[in-house]
């Protein structure tokens, strides 16, 4: 599985673009606020009060057709 790197604003815009097309795709954001939480129940309680479009996103998991993923990530560099 390739891991790509990008600035936070690029990851956020990629997430928002990916979420516009939910059919046959999976978008899994990793918001920065989750790092400070060490119990999933705390995350479940905090998540409904958050707007992912406004949160810092540390990472993003994408699953779907390779053509769709490449159209979103084609210009990003591999994380080394």
Cα 11 to Cα 76: distance, rounded to the nearest angstrom: 10
Residue with tokens 């990916």: 18
The contacts of residue 21 (CB under 8 Å, 6+ apart) are 68
**Residues paired with residue 4 on neighbouring β-strands, in sequence order:** 78
Range of the domain at 40: 4-78
pLDDT in tens, 40-69: 999 999 989 999 889 888 888 999 998 998
Cα 35 to Cα 13: distance, rounded to the nearest angstrom: 21
Task: Report the first-to-last Cα separation within the chain, whole angstroms.
Answer: 13
Statement: residue 77 has pLDDT above 80: yes
């Amino acid at each position: 599985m390739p891991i790509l790197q990008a600035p936070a604003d690029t990851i956020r815009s990629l997430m928002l673009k990916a979420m516009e097309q939910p059919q046959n795709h999976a978008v899994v954001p990793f918001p920065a606020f989750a790092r400070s939480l060490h119990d999933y129940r705390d995350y479940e309680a905090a998540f409904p009060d958050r707007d992912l479009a406004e949160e810092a996103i540390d990472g993003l998991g994408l699953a779907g057709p390779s053509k769709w993923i490449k159209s979103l990530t084609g210009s990003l560099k591999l994380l080394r």
